[in-house]
Structure 1
Amino acid sequence: MTDSFKNIINTSTPVLVDFYADWCDPCKALAPVLKEVKSEMGDEVKIVKIDVDKNQNLANQFQVRGVPTMMVFKDGKQLWRQSGVLSKNDLIRKIKSY
């Protein structure tokens, strides 16, 4: 795990990490949903997008086998993980539960 990634996820604010690929159609469908989540939640959440093709070591480390895969981290710990596209409301509920 890179130091910069450790720094990003080691906060008391929940961090939603989206592992995606440019060639992935469901990833493209998820992008506007993530924008809506961010605009609704503001500073309550950080959203970070990780391109699996450019960050293969990180994707391997978290055993990302399919994209999109989303994870929520808080204080450096992974609290949740799911592959696929979720609705804005489902994502907001998930993030707020942490």
Structure 2
Amino acid sequence: MQTTEDIKKIIEENLAVMLYFSAPTCNVCHALKPKLVDAISSNFKEFEIVSVDTSIDQEIAANFSVFAIPTVLVFLGGKEFLRKSRHMSVDEVIREIKRPYEIMIS
């Protein structure tokens, strides 16, 4: 089981991190996650992906001010860069990350 400190350490130690907040009862979460993980993995080699189950880790969700699921938080260079909740498309997330990510790793 991960803690808020574990996740903060991952964010500090990695160039690009995506936190994916979901819960077992969320059908949208389960439909979106594999597509999003696949798209992130194929477009961005340096990404670390962390899944947070809000039904278990309420404290982590609260710590990152996540109150709706699914929620995606993207951190670039240790700073929160993107926050998307509920209605999002995989293409939209990829599009918003692409340019700053490429600038960072070049």
TM over 0.5: yes
Q: What residue number does 1:37 align with?
A: 39
User: Which aligned pairs between 1:1-98 and structure 2 lie closer than 5 A?
Assistant: 2-98=4-100
Q: Percent identity?
A: 36
| C-alpha RMSD of the superposition | 1.9
Alignment size in residue pairs: 98
Unaligned runs of 5+ in 1: none
Alpha-carbon displacement from aligned partner over 1:28-83 (angstroms, at most 9, x marks no partner):
11112123213412523222111111111111112211100111112332111110
SS of match in other structure, 1:65: coil
Higher relative contact order structure (alpha carbons within 8 Å, sequence separation ≥ 6): 1
The normalised TM-score by structure 2 is 0.78
The normalised TM-score by structure 1 is 0.83
Query: Does the Cα contact within 8 Å between 1:15 and 1:45 map onto a contact in 2?
Result: yes
- Residues 88 and 82 (structure 1), Cα distance of their counterparts in 2 relative to 1, 3 Å cut: closer
CA distance in 1, matches of 2:13, 2:98: 15
